[in-house]
Amino acid sequence: MLTPRTLSFCHTTGQLHLLSKVDLCKWTFVSGPLCGLVAVAMAAPLVGTQEVTTEKLLDEAVTQGYTKQGEMFSASNMSSLVQSVLAAPFRSEVVCNCDEARILHYLLQGNFLLTPYDADKNHRPCNKKGQKAHWMLITGVFVAVNNAENIINLGQLEENQDDYQQDLYHLKPEKPTTPEILKILRQNTDKIQGVFVYGHQGKSKHTGVWTIGELLDSNSQLTELGPERSVDEYIVPEGGVEKGLCGKMVRVYRSETVV
């Protein structure tokens, strides 16, 4: 799961302890403007929903007037579509203008985030003003903590210690992170040297690992429809891409989760 780029960062940043929390999902290939629907299809099994096909999601989205070809330029419509296929007790909501601390909080609580961003040629986040808008599913977080033994009782994490990398601990993905660890991390953000997210999207079967910062930068500048995209061919909300996507994500969470 850990890329050479991530491990290189960890080995050159000092006395770090690494906390990784991720849910792996079944990859679904995307062709055409179906990236948002594919992200929903990949998320469905993670929240107890029977496998949902992209075709079924497309039919529902067209019926509801959310899309013409599979494009999803509205986070609000995306949330409504997600809610229609979620199994209890999971729910969805649109969250706006999140900072790094809020994203970290959500992911450590076991939430998932459907996130629009500009995708570069290698699928990593870039800044193209929304002209390369794409959807990804974020299912986990990787945190590098400086001298974590000073703030966290690592003894309680021994059973989660990585077999090959001594300072790497895998937080159980099937349970919310213990409130104690979450509280400690939030109270000691100065100890956090790096935060990465695990992202999945339909154009690559490989899990992406990117900093929260570069993802938020990309998400916050979605303002334009690509010049090769005609408004007549898609359903674009009033106010355009900026109103529909800029600074917005769809959060999927258990209804009993404390926010």
Contact status, residue 173 vs residue 140, Cβ threshold 8 Å = yes
Q: How far apart are alpha carbons 254 and 88 in whole angstroms?
A: 8
Amino acid letter, residue 22 = V
Q: Which of 10, 35, 98, 246 is catalytic?
A: 35
Asked whether the predicted pLDDT for residue 259 surpasses 70, the reply is: no
Q: Is 248 helix (H, G, I), strand (E, B) or coil?
A: strand
Asked whether the predicted pLDDT for residue 4 surpasses 50, the reply is: no
Pick the more confident residue, 44 or 156: 44
Q: Which residues pair with 80 in a beta bridge?
A: none
User: What pLDDT is recorded for position 258?
Assistant: 52
Tokens for 79? 């949330």
Pick the more confident residue, 219 or 254: 219
Asked whether the predicted pLDDT for residue 36 surpasses 70, the reply is: yes
> Which regions of 120-187 does DSSP assign to beta strands (E)?
125-126, 133-146, 168-170
Contact status, residue 186 vs residue 101, Cβ threshold 8 Å = yes
Under DSSP, the state recorded for 227 is T
**pTM score, whole prediction:** 0.89
Q: How far apart are alpha carbons 187 and 242 in whole angstroms?
A: 33
Angle at 245 between CA 130 and CA 243, to 5 degrees: 100
Pick the more confident residue, 50 or 250: 250
Query: Angle, nearest 10°, between helix axes 35-43 and 75-85?
Result: 30
- Select from 137, 94, 105, 117 the least CA-distant residue to 258: 105
Q: How far apart are alpha carbons 138 and 112 in whole angstroms?
A: 6
Pick the more confident residue, 153 or 14: 153
Asked whether the predicted pLDDT for residue 159 surpasses 80, the reply is: no
Q: What is the mean pLDDT of the chain?
A: 86
- State percent of the chain over pLDDT 90: 47
**Which segment, 17-21, 146-150, 235-239, is predicted with the most confidence on average?**
235-239
Judge whether 10 counts as a catalytic residue.
no
Contact status, residue 98 vs residue 216, Cβ threshold 8 Å = yes
Asked whether the predicted pLDDT for residue 56 surpasses 80, the reply is: yes
> Which regions of the chain does DSSP assign to beta strands (E)?
16-22, 90-96, 112-119, 125-126, 133-146, 168-170, 192-201, 204-211, 248-254
- In this prediction, residue 176 has a pLDDT band, given cuts at 50, 70 and 90, of low
Pick the more confident residue, 64 or 187: 64
DSSP string computed for 61-117: HHHTTS-SSS----HHHHHHHHHHHPPTTEEEEEEES--HHHHHHHHHTT-EEEEEE
- Select from 239, 139, 244, 145 the least CA-distant residue to 186: 145
- H-helix or E-strand containing 174? none
Radius of gyration of the chain (CA): 18
User: What pLDDT is recorded for position 2?
Assistant: 46
